[in-house]
Structure 1
């Protein structure tokens, strides 16, 4: 093995093993091969083979030409997207190594049929960035025999051997629409032969002559246009491969795939719920059926205590209850189940066991931050009749309505307010794909506490103590902390732009304890369809002040509208309770729309932390098991030159429910955001628990998406 390959192979294997260990067992990729760009393909060329819906893949490839790390995702059946980070030596005159971020997208136009029709796809490679790999293609793929697959297509840009020469003094990050499908067009082709169930042999014909990379005199030009390779599958999770470009340049690659729609524990590992208890015959309990019990003042406290204890065993809190002879409303806080429908279903079962037989109408109201978000109305007779049928049947009988913020007769459970909770756990922070330092990390211990003073009024805070890491304190432009502090300003002297994120490393590397956030928040629901939030204090690591928000969101509406305004001041780099001079008022008008099938979008228009004005567009896909993947882009009146490298803010987000990986129910999630590059333009305040994401979990669309767990 080439001596340069060995450390990469060891690192890649460790990375992929850690990924799978952390997230669970992946789904098989069904004979699909990922190329060196981390997209469906052979070696360098693409194929028209769409990954399974919901598949998330990570690919690392290495050759003398470049190291590429790619994350690709299949949010819907026909669309594949990818974010790539590449390191190319000797190409950027401003750096020894070009650290390039690029985006790909491929759309499946046709799916293969058993007859003559091949699958057909159209794609854009590196369509937004510096354009080092820029190219477009139209490709068709046909399975000739169960073990032989052939592909052919037409390529532009790099796929036609035409490098669209990059200006590295330019900021990059634009869509470069004028270049798409322009210039020479050349054919490409590939063949994949499945030699065994695990081993594939690959051959392709490609016009990419690696012009940018061979500008470095130490690099060899490919000897020809034929590339050869092998790809080996290890179980249903890994792919590893080796290849040659032109016969004289060698490379290796490795991939791991996870599928958001498939878990190692599809049914979960939670204990079975208590069964529904049918009511006795009227002649067996005449007092219970008559409702006479409701006149006894001791009846509700006893019932509420018994039901509260039972719900506590299910990881839920019975906040309050209103009870009459034939109707009961319970207001629950779900602390355990990732799907709110499962919490509601288990509550309904327990209500049949705790309530007298005269109570026919059950109203189960979900609570978030002390505020009622939705009510599910069920008839007890339907619950008894449909317990052993498909969950769709009870869904047809249920009503989901806007929760009334003021219900007469609500009685709070004893000890609910005020309430203090705390936890102590490790934390880890990871910074990815910075042009000068691609991997940065920090780990330590974090203590968090929450004091719920009354419904909707919450005091919370977090203290962190760093243990180790490479996220060291550093000013922009490689300034030392002392040099940056000596400038005495948060304004970039060259552009006049306030530094609201580009100096974020000044907040890291503290050896003494830090206070990332300390806030007092008030949540309220003035009307059945309107929610409000006011948060004051240390809102995030870099800013403190006041944030106020209002949201209009009817429970059955796909559309939601919101507004937010913030008055904040920049926090000191070291002293947790001191501030710097920079102050700003920012705010946005927001529109949210649920398109169905787990896809929802968001548009924010307003003023950002650096004072620039513009809009953010975000699209998200949420699967029934809680996986969320999204992408966003922000464009403001800040020029590309003032913004700097990347031209405008953009990135992707991933959020994975921990229960998907471990099987046991929990509301905890892991994930984060990956930006193409962190700059000061288009930056919003990182205030936690914004209203839309707080209330949407228990509104109609999300409830129905998870309704399959109602009887779990």
Structure 2
């Protein structure tokens, strides 16, 4: 993209000046410049103008603001120490579209990168893209600097383009959105903005800003809309009050003639409500008695007694069960013991391994020096940690890094000599009844939607690796009702459920694309019990580093069939390679046992790579549910306490016209461990997939328990990132 002359001058002057100012000041490292209040756009800032502030790394937050100009709901994530991202859903009054409601709803995405943090005389400096995907109601770019004048006063000043300069971009009424409006970036003339914030005390902050936003929207058909009254001036004022560690409320005025209110919440995954957890303390390591005190135990003659291993295995299994672990099998000799454990309680596999090692010191005779702790998933051994008992005894009260250095991680073979299965482990039946909540928060047509119900889920583990799983769900109430997809050429109009079921030809778009996900609302709003899943899965491990899965049955609420997967994942490697193939048929909308006519063979090959800083990249290339071919790129960040947040994008051989609004598939995934909020150890998670639209292009099959997430928990990168909890 060719930069405008003004942008070129800014890059040639502003950045060098900031660097010179920084070098002239002190070299002491300052505290990071974290935002004191959130703007109406959901980022640290003034009221409507941005600043160069950030949030603590990894912070996930939300802001809801209301004024005569807009109602904005923002989800903010500090993806990197310098990179802040925002997903926004807005209702903008005073603008009409094809619905003629007197307002429009709009989705937008912002990115801001802090190029320089504050240091000495040098201000913090940030560059931002506002609403750079889609139709561009809030489209604008900016360069802003923020400086701490006194400990309680900060000043920000910058140059803005687009809406920030009072020069909103013309909105193309035919634009389907979803693609960057690169040609508009940093063009169309810039104007300055500024703000001052005063931290009155620990709770209260006051903000004043100079803004050029004029709240006007211009469309390509010549229509011009004023969003509320024209501001009486360029001066905006606000006051914000914080309570607790995560909440803030605020009131503000725009131009002196309009007032608004705001509520913000910010959660830092490193600041759990119960930082130390509420789990009970582990059993302490039991040092071995001297050889003189237990000569038989040290000599190993006990191993010749056929009753020794069953008694030891039963005692160890009972102790592990109290810790939420299942002792699946055990091999025992006079000098070596291998236990195969299934972790059912702790989000960090290292904590399960550490507690098991402690219990082994208490249950095993003194001649056993080598401990091999093998983790399992779905009945398959996934990795082995080998320790010397003397190191466990010696290092109990040291930092976890020392026991990590003394351990060896290796691939675990499917079988091992002398393994004896524990009694009562297989077959195993489990069941649960839980409430369900489905939320839709980014629908331009429907606003916030919800569905509340209950789900009974059961699994029957017939043998190692062979699992029968089923679920029965009942809706109780909600406003997500059944309906067909949109009627082509009639924006905002939909087929009724009855019309859609009666005419099979509607299950293909006018462009010839099968409706594999755009009719997902046909699977909602069912007041009768439904079966979202009923499967038989078989997991196997043909070699120490290769895993396989075959799942057959009702795979998800919309598709049934057979799914087969193979994964190569060495325990000590950050790289994994996989392949999956699925033969599926579309289920009937009642989600029972009938099927519709559409069926497809689809699948992909995948590459995964785990970086040492908590990031995992994944690339899937193949064929999707609608028969289109392309690739999905995903990037996920995971913290040591189990928080995960990721983003993905899929582009296939469908054209923008065939794909429809949005142009390509994209979304954000969020997974929060339940134990983070409750303090109680648990492997349960709250998961969400935030996406603005359900489209047919790039649609994947939703199969539970894919191999990579099952296996990686006990492999090198993930295991050692949580190794600090080995002694917990």
Settle same-fold status: TM greater than 0.5: yes
Other-structure match for 2:512: 496
The runs of 5 or more residues in structure 2 that have no matched partner are: 1-31, 487-493
2:480 corresponds to 1:474 = no
Q: Alignment partner of 1:703: what SS?
A: helix
Q: Which runs of 4+ in 1 moved over 6 A?
A: none
User: What is the DSSP-based 3-state SS (H/G/I as helix, E as strand, rest coil) of the residue aligned with 1:404?
Assistant: coil
Q: Please say if 1:170 is aligned against 2:186.
A: no
Q: Does 1:107 align with 2:116?
A: no
Question: Which of 369, 381, 385 is the matching residue for 1:376?
Answer: 385
**Corresponding residue number in structure 2 for 1:442:** 451
Partner of 2:610: 594
Q: Could you report, residue by residue, the CA deviation over 1:350-399 in whole angstroms, capped at 9, with x for unpaired residues?
A: 00011111110100011000011111111000000011111111111111
Q: Deviations over 1:287-346 (max 9, x none)?
A: 111111111111111111110011011111000011111111100000001111110000
Q: Is the 8 A contact 2:557 2:591 kept in 1?
A: no
Matched, 1:483 2:499: yes
Q: Tell me the residue number matched to 2:76.
A: 72
Give, in whole Å, the separation in 2 of the partners of 1:172 and 1:650: 12
Verify the 8 A CA contact 1:54 1:259 in the aligned structure 2: yes
Corresponding position of 2:540? 524
Q: Distance in 1 between matches of 2:473 and 2:33?
A: 40
Matching residue within 590, 603, 620 for 1:604: 620
**Deviation string, structure 1 residues 585-627 (Cα, Å, up to 9, x no partner):** 1111111111211111111111110111111111111001000
The match for 1:308 among 310, 317, 331 is 317
Distance in 2 between residues matched to 1:351 and 1:286, nearest whole Å:
19
| 1:650 corresponds to 2:671 | no
User: Which residue matches 2:144?
Assistant: 139
The match for 2:5 is: none
Query: Does the aligned pair in 1 maintain the 2:65–2:263 contact within 8 Å?
Result: yes
Is contact 1:498-1:680 (8 Å) kept? yes
CA distance change for structure 1 residues 255 and 98 in 2, over 3 Å: closer, same or farther?
Answer: same
Matches of residues 350-369 of structure 1 in structure 2 within 5 Å?
350-369=359-378
Q: Which residue in 2 is equivalent to 1:6?
A: none
Deviation string, structure 1 residues 2-49 (Cα, Å, up to 9, x no partner): xxxxxxxxxxxxxxxxxxxxxxxxxx9966211000001101111111
1:493, 1:70 → 2: CA distance?
Answer: 32
- Name the residue aligned to 2:161: 156
Contact 1:29/1:236 (CA < 8 Å) preserved in 2?
no
Structure 1 alignment gaps of length 5 or more: 1-27
Match in the other structure for 1:675? 691
Q: TM-score, normalised by structure 2?
A: 0.92
**Deviation, structure 1 residue 217:** 5.6
Q: Number of residues paired by the alignment? A: 684
Q: Tell me whether 1:636 sits opposite 2:652 in the alignment.
A: yes
1:52 to 43, 56, 79: 56
Counterpart-to-counterpart distance in 2, 1:174 and 1:321 = 56
Q: How does 1:232-631 map to 2 (within 5 A)?
A: 232-477=241-486, 478-489=494-505, 491-574=507-590, 576-631=592-647
Q: Deviations over 1:459-480 (max 9, x none)?
A: 1000011111112111112222
Moved more, 417-426 or 651-660: 417-426
Distance in 2 between the 1:644 and 1:166 partners?
18
Distance 1:493 1:379 in 2: 64
Higher alpha-carbon deviation: 351-360 or 192-201: 192-201
C-alpha RMSD of the superposition = 1.5
3-state DSSP class of the match of 2:592?
coil
Q: 1:489 to 1:459 in 2, by over 3 A?
A: farther
Supply the distance in 2 between the matched residues of 1:281 and 1:535 (Cα, whole angstroms): 53
Q: Aligned residue for 1:38?
A: 42
Alignment match, 1:662: 678
- 1:549-600 CA-to-partner distances (Å, cap 9, x unmatched) read 1111111111111111111000001150000000011111111111211111
* 1:200 equivalent among 205, 226, 231: 205
Cα distance change on mapping 1:377 and 1:100 into 2, 3 Å: same
TM-score scaled to structure 1, two decimals? 0.94
Distance 1:40 1:575, change over 3 A: closer
Given the alignment of the two structures, is residue 124 of structure 1 paired with residue 129 of structure 2, yes or no?
Answer: yes
Question: In 2 relative to 1, CA 490–358 (structure 1 residues): closer, same or farther, beyond 3 Å?
Answer: farther
The CA distance in 1 between the partners of 2:132 and 2:451, in whole Å, is 33
- Equivalent residues of 1:490, 1:498 under 8 A apart: no
